[in-house]
Every structure is written in C-alpha cells, then in structure tokens.
Structure 1
C-alpha cells in the first residue's frame, strides 16, 4: 500500500491535503507533516481544512498556509487524512470534482473506503504514524519541521502516551523525532501550559453538568451554546473535557455532549478499555475507535442524553 502511495506521489505534481472538520492534533499534525514532505519533493501543494487550524496548533510549521476556501483549480491527487467518514472532510471536498483521485489515510476502526487507495491501519497510534511510515519508506530524511508535526500528532492522539494506543511504535517514533531536534518540553508547554482563561471559565460551567449513572459505569459532561456566549470561549477549547468524567473511579465510559448548533449535538465517547465505544457510536450513525468514538444527534440536551444513556445502560 505504501509503495502504491509513493508511486502516486512520484507520478503526479499537484496535491491537495485535507482532514476532518474541527481538526485535532493528529489531524493537523499528520496533514502538515505530509504537506511538508510533498513540498520538500518540489510538489505543488494546497492544504485545505474546512475549519481553521485551532490556535493551539498554530505554532506548527505550515499552519499559516492552511486555507478554508478551496481554490478553483484541478489537482492530480487529494490526500484525505484521519477523517473516519468522508463527509467529515467538509462540503467543499465532498462535492469537489477537480481531483483526479483520492488517497485515504486513516487509523480509525470504522472508516469509509472512499479512496482510490485506502491506507488504513487501526493498530497505528495516530494518522501521523502512517505519514511517518510513508516518508521513511521513501528514504527521505525527516527534518525538524516535519518532526514537529509528527510528534504533535502522536502526543495528542495518545493523550501524552497515557492511552492504550500508546504502543511501542508510537514511543519509538516519538523518540526518533526528539533525536531529530524536537524539544519535548517546548511542545508540552505549547499544548498544555498555555491555555486561555476562557477555557477554564468554560470548563467550570461544563463541570457543573457532571452526571454519573446509577451503576457508576458511565458519566458525562455537556457544553451548550449558551455557555460559549457566557464565557466567550469557542468549541476548540473543549478539547480534553471528556477526560474529566472518564477520570472518575469506576467509570468505564465517558460521554461529552457538545452543542454545535441549536438543537444539534456532537456526542463524544471515551472508554477505559473494557467497552468498545465505536459500536455504541455506530448505533447512532457514528463511528471511531474502540476507546474513542462519536456521533451527531438532533434534539434537546435532555432528549439526547436520554437516548444515549438508555443505550449505554443496555450496553454496559
């Protein structure tokens, strides 16, 4: 599969690199690492995200080159990274007819095989790992800018190596990126020690919604549009909120309800390992990994909670 991808890279000249809506650290890091590699080869590269790069990741090389408006031009190849479902790449990509072929690179357990080439490995800790494998297979030397993006992709998707996907390969690649020149503390400071005050104000409101099931096996938090208005915070500042209910002793599954428009919620699930939350998300039209998954639901917060909690009670 990697050789096929390298063949397409060498045979073509213009590339579009994109990822999912509301991009996280792996989405941003893997995309920028791949784009950096393609640019180093002298390729014509456009990096497009349907949503802006979160402030948290703007320190990464090439982050300033990401565009939200897809240029009116043709591309030989479009790399789509970490999306899980093709629709999550956004309407502009979904409706694009200016691409010769799509190459799908992902590590989600549930995934649309929409590409001409689908490089999928759920055992990989992050999509950034797959990009690393591609670059290494080409014998191209990884420089510091690319290393920064790969390291960020891995450290964020493994929860700073706390999650079960922090396998030996993830540690080995991270160590290699440090050998290239990545400063581990500098990255950690940027990711975890530089949060805006609005995030803590929003977290305080979210924690007031903490709910734990009668069985003690699942717990939840919620963020509503009204909370954003009260604090001046944005959706990107909710990253990591789901870890608070998951940290409760005895809880196996944490749920995070985030209102993305009036009466429309994004539901995120996190498991400690015993429960496959990808199957729970799939029951509501979503998907993801064994330990991290999500779906979207319409209705009031109470209605959405009722649906999810009812299903969880049966599943757990």
Structure 2
C-alpha cells in the first residue's frame, strides 16, 4: 500500500479495498444536510464504483445543496431507497449511524455496514470500520482508495475529492492541512483539475438573499469574555423576511471567527420552536468538539456543532456559559482543555 496509508490501519484499508473489488450492490450514503466532504466523498465513491462496474445507489436524505449543483454525478443522488436490496451499505462522514437520517438509520443492517469516517467521536458502528480522525476529510480517504485501486484522480472523480479537501480544510487554512493533504491536492491539479474554473464554481454561488441576511445577522454580532467569544444568532424570522434558506446560513460562523481576539466562534440558527442548530469554530488547541459533545453534538477539534431544544435566547446563554467555562479551565490548566 502507498505511504499515505498508516500501518496501524492497514487491515481496515485492505478490508474496504477487497470489498470494493469483490462485492456488489452497494448503497452509498453521507450525512444529511451534506457539506462539501459528505457530498464530495459520495460523488467520488460513486465514480469509483462506476469504474469498477458495480451496481450501486447514491443516497442522501437531503437534496443536493444549490451551491454544489455543478458537481458531476455518476448517477443521480436519490432521496428514495432502491427497489433492490443492497448487499452493503457504505456510510461516509457519519460520526454515528443516525447522521444519515431517521429513515435509513431505522432500516440500516449494521452487520452489512461499512463505516468510513474521520470524526473523533466515531465508535466503529459498522461491520467494517475505516475511521481515521487525523484525516482532513473522508474525501481524502476516498482519494487514497482510488489510488490503491489504480484510478487516476482526474475528471469528476478528482474534482469531487478536491471539493472534500478544500471545504473540510477551510481552503487549506485549518490545522488539518498537513503535507499529505497538499500533496494529494497537487496530484489532482497535475492530473487536470482546472483550478480557476473550480474556484469560480465553488465560490460564486451566493444569492442576493444570502447577502442581505448576512448583513442583518453580522450587524448583531456580539463579543463576550473580553472578546474571546464571538456569537451570531439567526432567528427564523430573519430568514423568512429575506426569503432566505437554511443553506444561505451556512458558514456565517466563519466571519465571526475572523474577528481579532476571538478564540471560539458560536453560530445559532433557529429552525423552529425550541429547535436550534449550533456551530462552533476555533483555531489552534481550542477543542470545540469537547464542548459540542457535552450537549449531544460532535465534530472535530476546530469545527463542531449540534442541535439544542431550547429557545434561541436560552441556547445562546447556555453556549456562552459553556465556552466561558471551557476557556476559564484552559487558562488555569492548558493541558486539560487542549
């Protein structure tokens, strides 16, 4: 196997590779409300299965987000189940099996489930588990699978892997941007990715509704704890007034993180009565996954989130209190909160 595959997980890689070569009738699913990694890895694996001549089904509980509508799929992404019984279910970028949504999670045969993920909270729920929390993205892992199977990372396959890399590394700015990630990205570019075209497709997808909503939200941003905690809240009424979608709220948390002195950025989105989606962002050794997991969420060290069943005001108060407590502990004992 290539140098990119660690000796400690060689057996897991070998099991997945053997399954892809010898198995058939796959259902591939990423987590619902897919981000660039969940969707990119799904698309990339679809192209791999297509090249291998397999029968497969690409599933997601949620439709393709508008901002990724330019992605080239090997077959349409479905919100329904196939009329044939899959032999294997491959779950991508799911910290736990519930992330695929209630419908698929309820019928998921774990004894025939392949779990490919990079969340530190993943508890190896599948019959086959390829879980590496130090990977930048699941798309990175699919890229290595493609290389092991002898397929170049070009065309829509390379494009999908690159999407996963660039989105889950914050355009190669997060701590998970290690040399191997940049080397894989460079390989994709060398094999034909038009970087200017790709960036235009990825970045120039905003609607005016989103821009106006951002103005409403960012004008109400607040700082706490001497400027170390930045918070934005998105009431449902704001979205309705601007005729904005949930998707239009994506990544707004990154703007408050860019404020000088902010160590933890908090975004809260009101989806309904007592239904709040929250996102946490940080840099360096500040571990927001620890905060998110304490209230049933999850994610990664510098990017995490979850859902709270509180009013918007109570959810904000809770998260501000928790982040303050985390930073206070970090001040007293850095090793206990890093």
Matches within 5 A, 1:43-58: 43-58=54-69
Secondary structure of the corresponding residue to residue 87 of structure 2: strand
Alignment correspondent of 1:175 = 186
For the pair 1:273 / 2:284, whether they are aligned, the reply is yes
**Cα distance in 2, alignment partners of residues 278 and 78 from structure 1:** 27
Cα RMSD (Å): 1.5
Moved over 6 A (4+): none
Question: Could you tell me whether the CA contact under 8 Å between 1:86 and 1:112 is conserved in 2?
Answer: no
Secondary structure of the corresponding residue to residue 189 of structure 1: helix
Alignment correspondent of 1:301 = 312
Matches within 5 A, 1:8-157: 8-62=19-73, 65-97=76-108, 101-157=112-168
Secondary structure of the corresponding residue to residue 125 of structure 2: coil
- Residues 98 and 85 of structure 1: CA distance in aligned 2, closer, same or farther (over 3 Å): closer
Give the deviation of 1:139 after TM superposition.
1.9
- Residues 219 and 180 of structure 1: CA distance in aligned 2, closer, same or farther (over 3 Å): same
Q: Deviations over 1:207-248 (max 9, x none)?
A: 133111032111111212212211111111222201111001
Alignment correspondent of 1:260 = 271
Structure-1-length-normalised TM-score: 0.96
Alignment correspondent of 2:209 = 198
Which segments of 5 or more consecutive residues in structure 2 lack a partner in the other structure?
1-11, 328-338
**Cα distance in 2, alignment partners of residues 254 and 197 from structure 1:** 24
Which segments of 5 or more consecutive residues in structure 1 lack a partner in the other structure?
none
Matches within 5 A, 1:200-279: 200-279=211-290
Structure-2-length-normalised TM-score: 0.90
Give aligned pairs, total.
316
**Cα distance in 2, alignment partners of residues 295 and 192 from structure 1:** 25
Q: Deviations over 1:272-312 (max 9, x none)?
A: 12311111011111111110111210111110111111111
**Cα distance in 2, alignment partners of residues 76 and 9 from structure 1:** 12
Question: Could you tell me whether the CA contact under 8 Å between 1:57 and 1:63 is conserved in 2?
Answer: no
Question: Could you tell me whether the CA contact under 8 Å between 1:129 and 1:170 is conserved in 2?
Answer: yes
Give the deviation of 1:259 after TM superposition.
1.7
Give the deviation of 1:118 after TM superposition.
1.2
